[in-house]
Amino acid sequence: MKLSGTDHIELYVGDARQAAFYYCTAFGFRIAAQGGPETGLKGRRSLLLTQGDIRMVLTSPLGTDHPAAEFLHRHGDGVAVIALEVDDVEAAYEELVHRGAAPVAAPVRYAEGDAVVTTAEVSGFGDVTHRLVQRGGPRTEFLPGVFRMSDVDETAGGDLLRIIDHFAVCVPAGQLDATVAHYREVFGFAQIFEEYIEVGEQGMFSKVVQSPSKQITLTLIEPDTSRRRGQIDDFLTWHGGAGVQHVAFTTDGITSTVGALAARGVRFANTPPSYFDALAERVRDLAVPVEDLRAAGVLVDRDHWGQLLQIFTESMHVRRTLFLEIIERRGALTFGSGNIKALYEAKNRELSGVA
Ligand code: FE2
């Protein structure tokens, strides 16, 4: 079984058209395809948005009998599917189920002309599933026959976001190790990083698991219930259990990207000036001048291999659950302890209304 990368993600949202307007206008995505009852998608309407190599499907149920309705009732808008690219869906599905993943949907083949896409689905964490996707023939279709492609000018340029860097996933207290074990034993991932994050009186445990291809990374976080209740507990309450807390998109030139997004109305979690005062001492040979970082509110850290620059957006949802991260890697392959703490401190200020 070869899990090469993330093929796409699917969000269940209350209104796919309105969410698409937001993601396109604020974040620069484009509508690349759409489907609904008229294309053979039963009980739902879905829009495929693209930017860089990112594919994001927004799906809304049209009635109460589609599973998206139950998901939205429990969790509100959020990531429902992380789709993984595989070279052989049937073999991968069989192997994953044999190793302990719960089967969600048996393999289905979609074909139109020479384009063939096969998918199947297994459980991931909480109500989030992993769709296995195998693509054959020309890659001009998303799901041949059930998504109608739009005319997108691929030469238009101007993409600010490139690929999905990682997903951060909150799990209830006591489930972190079991979730890590699940990804190691069932999906063959390796644990690459581990951190205890202290934010004021609160604490959280974090472990990062990654696919052998290094293209799929999950940062798993559980609250430390021996400390004061904090934002991870809040996420679990507001979301209603385990779920994707943020999706991180890579960019080149993070300070100009953040400036462009802010000009379009995207709001970011704020970092206090003292962070930047101490930055030059903490990270030598900063990849970006500290004044540019300060102006954009971008955080910098380093790992063994290089630097990484990060910022969190505010959540755009009423439950204050899912948000996005923008990240630029200047050589760094993992994460840096200083940034994780600072990012969660900024998020704390936003959630407590101090920011
Ligand atoms: Fe992150």
pLDDT > 90 in the chain, percent: 83
Residue 268: DSSP 8-state: B
Q: What topology is assigned to 164-352 in CATH?
A: 2,3-Dihydroxybiphenyl 1,2-Dioxygenase; domain 1 (3.10.180)
The architecture of the domain spanning 3-149 is Roll (3.10)
H helices of the chain, where?
Answer: 16-27, 67-75, 89-99, 176-185, 231-239, 254-263, 273-277, 279-282, 290-296, 337-351
Confidence band of 154 (pLDDT split at 50, 70, 90): low
**How does the average pLDDT of the chain come out, rounded?**
94
| Cβ-contact 60, 109 below 8 angstroms | no
The one-letter amino acid code at 69 reads A
Q: Given a cut of 90, is residue 181 above it in pLDDT?
A: yes
Least Cα distance to 271 among 205, 221, 344, 321 occurs for: 344
For the chain, helix, strand, coil in percent to 5 are 25, 40, 35
Separation of CA 311 and ligand 1 centre (Å): 9
pLDDT > 70 in the chain, percent: 98
Q: Given a cut of 70, is residue 155 above it in pLDDT?
A: no
Separation of CA 254 and ligand 1 centre (Å): 15
Separation of CA 246 and ligand 1 centre (Å): 7
What pLDDT was estimated at residue 351?
85
Confidence band of 31 (pLDDT split at 50, 70, 90): very high
Q: Given a cut of 60, is residue 316 above it in pLDDT?
A: yes
What does the pLDDT average to over 125-143? 95
Separation of CA 167 and ligand 1 centre (Å): 7
Which CA distances in Å does 256 have to 135, 205, 281?
A: 35, 32, 24
Give tens-digit pLDDT for 185-194.
999 999 999 9
| String of DSSP letters for 179-238 | HHHHHHHTT--EEEEEEEEEETTEEEEEEEEE-TTS--EEEEEEE-TTS---HHHHHHHH
What pLDDT was estimated at residue 339?
83
The domain ranges of the chain are: 3-149, 164-352
Q: Given a cut of 80, is residue 353 above it in pLDDT?
A: no
Separation of CA 312 and ligand 1 centre (Å): 8
Q: Report the length, in residues, of the chain.
A: 355
What pLDDT was estimated at residue 153?
67
Q: Given a cut of 70, is residue 112 above it in pLDDT?
A: yes
Separation of CA 45 and ligand 1 centre (Å): 29
What does the pLDDT average to over 208-217? 96
What does the pLDDT average to over 278-305? 90
Least Cα distance to 343 among 355, 331, 332 occurs for: 355
Give tens-digit pLDDT for 33-84.
999 999 999 999 999 999 999 999 999 999 999 999 999 999 999 999 999 9
Q: Exposure pattern of 292-329 as b/e (b: 16+ CB <10 Å)? A: ebbebbbbbbbbeeebbbbbbbbbbbebbbbbbbbbbb
Q: Given a cut of 70, is residue 167 above it in pLDDT?
A: yes
Separation of CA 219 and ligand 1 centre (Å): 7
Q: Given a cut of 60, is residue 355 above it in pLDDT?
A: no
Confidence band of 94 (pLDDT split at 50, 70, 90): very high
What does the pLDDT average to over 345-355? 79
Separation of CA 65 and ligand 1 centre (Å): 34
Separation of CA 248 and ligand 1 centre (Å): 6
Q: Do domains 3-149 and 164-352 have the same CATH topology?
A: yes
Token pair for 338: 């200083």
